[in-house]
Amino acid sequence: MKLPRDLSGSELARELQDFGYRVTRQSGSHMRLTTIERGEHHLTIPAHAALRIGTLAAILSAVAAHFDSNREDVARRLFEKT
């Protein structure tokens, strides 16, 4: 699946709510998200207007690793809305 090129950090944080992530703090231009599903896990994502594709791929890989999945499945769940 092709990753979105115009996704902002705030939009990604909203989409990650499907995995139980919530914004727990923000410092400057970065947000800290935490989930307690399948154990506690933290992510730090930039609150920029458009995330770079490599940054987005790395964040999705971290989510996939925590949920014993792969990046493609995570991206599909987040971005293929019906």
**How many other C-beta atoms can be found within 10 angstroms of the C-beta atom of residue 10?**
14
Domain coordinates in residue numbering, the chain: 9-77
For domain 9-77, the CATH superfamily is Hypothetical protein. (3.30.920.30)
**pLDDT tens track for 29-66:** 999 999 999 999 999 999 989 999 999 999 999 999 99
Q: Please report the pLDDT score of residue 1 as a whole number.
A: 80
Cβ atoms of 42 and 33 within 8 Å: the answer is yes
28: its two tokens = 């400057």
Instruction: Name residue 46's beta-bridge partners.
Output: 30
Using DSSP's 3-state secondary structure scheme, residue 53 falls into: helix
Q: Please report the pLDDT score of residue 9 as a whole number.
A: 94
pTM: 0.90
What is the Cα–Cα distance from 4 to 59, expressed in whole angstroms? 13
